[in-house]
Chain A
C-alpha cells in the first residue's frame, strides 16, 4: 500500500515537471534554429542544376553587349565559371556589394554578367559611371520579366554558372566579404578544378 502511495506521488511529480520539460525542449529547438539554423526566408533557387533560363537580354550600354543562353556554356567558347549579378540603381544593398563584385571580377578574373532589372536606363548608366563598371556583359530588363525567368525575388541576387552553362548556386542579398570567402570562392575553385 505504501508502495502505491509513493508511486502515485512520483507520477504527480513527473506530471508537474512536464511543462518544464516541454518548455526546455522548445527553448532548445528554437535556440538551435536561431544560432545554427538557416534563414527560412531564403528560398533555394529552383534553377540549381538546370541550364540557364532561355531569355535574351538587350544591351544596357551601347558599347557592351547584353546576354542570352548562347553566352554561357562551351558553345560560347567559354571554359570559365561565370557570375550573373542582378542589380538596379535604386537598390541600396547593390551599392554595398558593388566593391566586392568589382574586386571579384578583377582579382579572380571571372566574367561577371550584370542583369539590370526594373531600372531606368539613364539611372543605371549614371550608377555605373559613378561606381565603376565591373561587368563583362550587361543585360537590360526594364520590365523585370527576365528577372522572373531567372527566379529573382530580391535585389541583389548573384548566380554562379558552371562552364557547362548550368546554374550551380544562387545567393540572395548583398555579397559580404564573409559570403565571398565562404560561399563563392570555394565553389569557383571547385568549378575550376574540374
Chain B
C-alpha cells in the first residue's frame, strides 16, 4: 500500500515537472540548446494575437508558429532577449507582451492590487478605531469619555490619587 502511494506520488510529480511543448514543432527547434532555451523563455511571454490568452509557446495558431520562427531567427542573428521583444512590440504594440511594461497606460493595472490592499487596510483601521474605547460608539455604551470638562478632570485626578497604588490580592478574591 505504501509502495503504491509512493509510486502514485512520484508519477504525479513527474507529470508536474514535464510540461511538453505540444505547440512547438520539431522543425522549429534550434540545434543550439542554449538558444532554444532562450527562445522558449521569450515565447512564453509573447501573446498569440489570434488566440490572445495563450502565449505563442502554447498556441497552435499559424501566426504563433510564424512568430516562434521569427523569435528563433532573431536569436540566431545575435539579438538579445530584449531586442527580440522590442522587434515584436514595434509591429504589434505592447499588447503582444504577456507581461505589460509599466507606463502611464498600465499604471492602474500594476498599481491596482496595491491600492486595494491600502484601501482594505484603511477599512480595517477605521473599523477598529470605531470600536476602540474613547470613540463615539464606545462612549455611548458608558465607558470613558474624552470630553471631560476641566473640573471633571481635576476630580478624576483627585480620585485616582486617593486610590491605593497597588492592590495585589484583589484580583484573586471572590
| A residues lining the B interface (CB < 8 Å) | 3-4, 41, 43-47, 53, 118, 143-145, 148-151, 153-154
A154 to B63, CA, bound (A): 9
The contact of A43 among B63, B66, B93, B140, by CB within 8 Å, is: B93
A148 to B66, Cβ gap below 8 A? yes
| A149: B residues at CB distance < 8 A | 91
A46 to B50, Cβ gap below 8 A? no
29 CB < 8 A contacts A-B: A3-B140, A4-B141, A41-B52, A43-B49, A43-B92, A44-B93, A45-B93, A46-B89, A46-B91, A53-B91, A118-B62, A143-B66, A144-B62, A144-B63, A144-B66, A145-B66, A148-B63, A148-B66, A148-B67, A148-B91, A149-B91, A150-B91, A151-B91, A151-B92, A151-B93, A153-B49, A153-B50, A153-B63, A153-B92
Ranked nearest first, the 6 interchain pairs of A and B with the lowest CB-CB distance are A46-B93, A153-B49, A151-B91, A43-B95, A151-B92, A4-B140
Of listed B62, B89, B91, residue having the most chain A CB within 10 A:
B91
Residue B29 at the chain A interface, CB threshold 8 Å: no
How far does the Cβ of B88 sit from chain A's closest Cβ, in whole Å?
9
| B140: A residues at CB distance < 8 A | 3-4
How far does the Cβ of B67 sit from chain A's closest Cβ, in whole Å?
7
How far does the Cβ of A25 sit from chain B's closest Cβ, in whole Å?
15
| B52: A residues at CB distance < 8 A | 41
* Chain A minimum-CB-distance residue to B91: A151
| B89: A residues at CB distance < 8 A | 46
Interface size (B, Cβ < 8 Å)?
17
| A153: B residues at CB distance < 8 A | 49-50, 63, 92
Interface of A is mostly: loop
How far does the Cβ of A165 sit from chain B's closest Cβ, in whole Å?
17
| B residues lining the A interface (CB < 8 Å) | 49-50, 52, 62-63, 66-67, 70, 89-95, 140-141
A4 to B92, CA, bound (A): 61
How far does the Cβ of A187 sit from chain B's closest Cβ, in whole Å?
20
The contact of B50 among A144, A148, A154, by CB within 8 Å, is: A154
A145 to B66, CA, bound (A): 8
Q: A53-B91, A153-B49 are in contact. List 9 more A-B contacts (CB 8 A).
A: A43-B49, A43-B92, A47-B91, A118-B62, A143-B66, A144-B63, A148-B91, A153-B63, A154-B50
Known: A46-B91, A46-B92, A153-B63. A148 touches B70 (CB 8 A): yes
| B67: A residues at CB distance < 8 A | 148
The contact of B90 among A3, A46, A118, by CB within 8 Å, is: A46
| B93: A residues at CB distance < 8 A | 43-46, 151
| B66: A residues at CB distance < 8 A | 143-145, 148
How far does the Cβ of B59 sit from chain A's closest Cβ, in whole Å?
12
* Chain B minimum-CB-distance residue to A45: B93
